[in-house]
Chain A
């Protein structure tokens, strides 16, 4: 069995931040969890999927998208069970519709929503700061700075959630989710058999028609006041050192600040307030912190979320203190921080002499070839792109063709020599944007979407395309798995992990036909000439058509066959 569930209280494990979240959730008695994968959150779902067969009374599912996953978890929590959903930052955009009103109706059992942000866009299309979702929705938020805190905070988040009857956001970043460090674990909850909740009807709570919603909004605001008092007294908000100068910090940057303070010998002259309970902001604690300060530096990645909260507190309490941070140019709003960058900002803010060690002479280093991520050798996506390109070339259509694309490994088709990815917004945008291009231009439109992404956000867009008579060719690249995030299941897959052998299979071609697309073909991209002959009429025509290109991801096939 996995050490993450066999470990005894006080055992020390070397855990990834995401693994620590799972352990914390299992210590907290998690019963129902649902997720759609997305880096940097994916390991949470992967691990729960793997562990559930060892833990009777734990239910986990890979849902078709984040909104569905949040609704699954919300209903479980409404029934009194502890639940969790996890997603990457942009996944919360998909689930935002549910989130905003879930905040009104609340929960009974504790519910944790993990949002894993990705400063620097290591594996993402943007670097949005999801702390603003806490402010937008009015939900409490916790931000761990290390795997140890990730474990303990997740467990605490269930208690907090039940106390307030609100879901709790647990916000990580890549450098917390993918940090690996020693975690001293607590005690696992008991998993000894199926546990069912009970949904108690109460339409004046659970059905937010306008009259109910107006009442629930008031209740939410009252709860925010209660949550602020809890934040003020929370042991997740920690003070270090003492002095007339201060640093306010949260997230992974807590580590950078504490290292910098130590290395710059500032512990005796400076007070650090490291916040873990960051929404609502602890106004009382921030007031006390500001009272005896002349100058405070705010260190937080991405947006000036705490910096603005601190300015509000200073203004409300009429405190004269110099607040430094992003607005003063001490730190950027872009990308993730590095420890060296934070050390320099601290030194500059407090007038210390510090410069990085002299670099070695590296003038002799030759120009190095870049190594962008690429499609694996032998990847079926390469073959699909090749087949489509050759047909378009033969038809003389290539110069006037544009290629809306989507989120998955195949986005890498933007690189030479393929260069068949021209426009991308988000999950599912290949289908919706193709509709727009078909109205706005006379160009030939060939869109690409993966099997998992199609189930996630392509179905309703394709119905739209049929009904509104848009003309484009949609290529569904069916590689039997959610490849990029580590081979999670897809409803259409034939090649399955043993745990999912008994699930019904939803055939892509049948779904597309049922949506009313009249021209649908399936190809095997490795059988090039055969495939070309089949798709040629579709790529010549002017009607909506779908090509399902079927060939399993080679890595996934190797893994399942093993």
Chain B
């Protein structure tokens, strides 16, 4: 397949590791070369987390500035923070539901008004998909399935050479039975966002 570099960003606790595991298992099952780099340890304590995922035979499991083909954001401020690693034609998928940093809760920094920046985001990049991912996940059964909404949106782009079924298969393999139905629903909701536009 064509080489692709996908950068997923979010906040510790949003389920970014499961997002990348499912994507990786989907690639493996589809016979596509995949490598990724994950964040473990201290940064998971409410900090910024990211997973770099490279497909199609790229060896380096890390993505540099100007190399991101698809930027996947689980949180809007983190999407904005990751933009220096984007190119002019990077495709952007992002949830717009904020996770307020502790430092903001403690009154030590403001959380920016996102309306204008998200508008400028759409004007700057050719393909930008924004949606209230956590809201959609809650409607699917649990806000925790935000990661599957975002995965669905990535799958719905139709850029990656993996069928919808192969994603669903990987979700079934990795998600605990108790949460499976909500996760599958969340994936479908995300899929519809990008597949229909």
Summarize A's interface: helix, strand, loop or mixed.
loop
A27 CB to nearest chain B CB (Å): 20
- The answer to whether residues A364 and B120 also contact, given A14-B21, A339-B60, A373-B44 and a CB cut-off of 8 A, is yes
Distance between B2 CB and nearest chain A CB, rounded to angstroms: 14
Among B42, B59, B61, contact of A258 (Cβ-Cβ < 8 Å): B59
User: Which residues of A line the B interface, CB within 8 A?
Assistant: 12, 14, 16, 39-40, 42-43, 122-123, 146, 175, 178-182, 252, 254-256, 258-259, 338-341, 343, 356-362, 364-377, 409, 412, 416-417, 484-485
Per the bound structure, the CA–CA distance linking A343 and B59 in Å amounts to: 13
CB contacts (< 8 Å) of B106 on chain A: these are: 416-417
Q: A122-B39, A255-B61, A371-B11 are in contact. Are A180 and B24 (CB under 8 A)?
A: yes
Instruction: Tell me whether B138 is interfacial, beta carbon within 8 Å.
Output: no
Chain A residues contacting B158 (CB-CB under 8 Å) are none
Q: Residues of A contacting B125 with CB < 8 Å? A: 360
Q: What 1/0 flags go to B74-92 for Cβ under 8 Å of A?
A: 0001101101101110100
CA A367 – CA B78 in complex, angstroms?
12
CB proximity to A under 8 Å, residues B39-71: 39-48, 58-67
**CB-contact partner of A373 in B42, B59, B63, under 8 A:** B42
Assess whether A373 is in contact with B35, with CB atoms less than 8 Å apart.
no
Q: Which residues of A contact B37 (CB under 8 A)?
A: 175, 178-180
B64, A341: Cβ atoms closer than 8 Å: yes
CB distance from A276 to the nearest CB of B (A): 15
Q: Which residues of B lie under 8 Å from residue A255 when comparing CB positions?
A: 35, 59-61
Confirm or deny: B161 has a beta carbon within 8 angstroms of a beta carbon on chain A: no
Q: Is the CB of B65 within 8 A of A374?
A: no
A374 to B100, CA, bound (A): 13
Q: Could you tell me how many residues of chain B have their Cβ less than 8 Å away from some Cβ of chain A?
A: 59
Q: How far is the CA of A362 from the CA of B61 in the complex (A)?
A: 26
Residues of A within 8 Å of B39, CB to CB, are 122, 178
Residues of chain B within 8 A of A375, CB atoms compared? 45
The answer, among B40, B45, B60, B65, for a CB contact under 8 Å with A356, is: B65
A-B contact pairs, 21 of them (CB 8 A): A39-B40, A39-B42, A122-B39, A146-B35, A175-B62, A178-B38, A178-B39, A180-B37, A182-B33, A254-B59, A256-B62, A259-B59, A356-B64, A359-B65, A359-B86, A362-B83, A364-B124, A365-B80, A370-B101, A371-B78, A373-B43
Query: Which residue of B20, B41, B102, B108 has the most chain A CB atoms within 10 A of its CB atom?
Result: B41
B104 interfacial by beta-carbon distance below 8 Å: yes
Considering only CB atoms, which chain A residue lies closest to B59 in the complex? A255
Q: Residue of A at shortest CB range from B100?
A: A369
The residue on B at minimum CB distance from A258 is: B59
**Shortest distance from the beta carbon of A477 to any chain B beta carbon, whole Å:** 15
Chain A to chain B: the 10 pairs with minimum beta-carbon distance, closest first: A340-B64, A39-B41, A123-B41, A255-B59, A373-B47, A373-B45, A181-B35, A339-B60, A369-B109, A366-B112
Q: How far is the CA of A179 from the CA of B11 in the complex (A)?
A: 19
Q: Which of these, B33, B35, B83, contacts A179 with CB under 8 Å?
A: B35
Cβ B103 vs Cβ A409 within 8 A: no
When C-beta atoms are compared, the residue in chain B nearest to A145 turns out to be: B59
Q: Is the CB of A360 within 8 A of B40?
A: no
How distant is A561 from chain B, measured CB to nearest CB, in Å? 16
With A40-B40, A412-B45 as known contacts, state yes or no: A359 contacts B84, CB within 8 Å.
yes
A468 to B47, CA, bound (A): 41
Residues in B whose Cβ lies below 8 Å from that of A372: 47, 103
Residues of A within 8 A of B58 (CB): 259
How far apart are the CA atoms of A40 and B39 in the complex, in Å?
A: 9
